[in-house]
Amino acid sequence: MSEAYPVEAPRSFDEFLACEALQRELDPPVSAAVPAWFLWELTRAGGICLAVFDGIGFAREPLGFVLAMVREVGGERVLRLVLYGVKRNRLDKGRLREGLLAGLRAETRDLGLVKLVWPFDPLESEWAEFLLEDAGARAEGYELRRGRGGEVQEFRALATIEEKVNETSWRQASLKSFFPVNTTRLAPGGLREPSSWNSHLSAQRLLFEIPSVGLSRLPGTLKVMWKEAWEVLEEYMDRGYVLVGLYRQRDRTFLVLERAT
């Protein structure tokens, strides 16, 4: 990250207040803002808060931030993100994400940890591409929140980022041999809507189409239709499939699923 976009912990309570305000403009959006006082107390209890700023000096403003905690997962200590995002509608979102990742990698090394766990919605194509392609992550697990009727209300794949970037071996294979999980069709406005799902495939590699613009940018009706993808992803990941990459073909976007061996 260049000096024009420094990444560091907020220095004052005013900067924590700025991070609280920023949450109303984050990509991905957050359902409820974490108050500044809570961010402040968490960092004093061992949490890690990093922000990417628009410059240096007293008037600097955060353009993105992360909140992370050290957790024990599967018998090992990892740095686990709790909240994150960058300011939406900025042309430099890629650089902001890269800066936050670099800061988190440094924190992971300083803490003597080997893994960073970054939860993300796999239907948000920009974040899926950033984590699975740019950061070289794989997502083997997931977390979800269900409603009272049992429907999935929120799905988060757990991207594991290690010091060594994962090899994208699927790129050496012929895409013609990948089986499609779903089919889509054009909807009014030029966007695509899902038309069918197949949850009974068992091929080594699968293609799973997702909305190219990201779930949060879809109009309400399409958003509801695409949320069914969460339940299908849950079925495949429960059977041992891993999210290993993202493939774009003109105006269409596909997650790449690979069966764990």
Q: What is the pLDDT along the chain (261 residues), one digit of tens a residue?
A: 455 789 999 999 999 999 999 999 999 999 889 999 999 999 999 999 999 999 877 779 999 999 999 998 778 899 999 999 999 989 999 999 999 999 999 999 999 998 999 999 999 999 999 999 999 999 999 999 888 888 888 999 999 998 766 666 777 667 777 899 999 999 988 899 999 999 999 999 999 999 999 999 999 999 999 999 999 999 999 999 999 999 998 899 999 999 987
Give the pLDDT score at 1. Answer: 47
Pairing of strands 115-120, 76-87: parallel
Instruction: With beta carbons less than 8 A apart as the criterion, state whether 36 and 16 touch.
Output: yes
State which fold the 7-162 domain adopts: Aminopeptidase (3.40.630)
Instruction: Give the C-alpha separation, 57 to 47, whole Å.
Output: 24
Give the pLDDT score at 110. Answer: 95
Question: What is the DSSP-derived secondary structure letter of residue 167?
Answer: P
Give the pLDDT score at 168. Answer: 66
DSSP string, 236-256: HHHTTEEEEEEEEETTEEEEE
pLDDT tens per residue across span 41-81: 999 999 999 999 998 777 799 999 999 999 987 788 999 99
Q: Please state at what angle helix 36-44 crosses helix 13-22, rounded to 10 degrees.
A: 120
Nearest Cα residue to 108 out of 64, 30, 164? 164
Please state the domain extents for the chain: 7-162, 169-259
Q: What is the pTM of this model?
A: 0.92
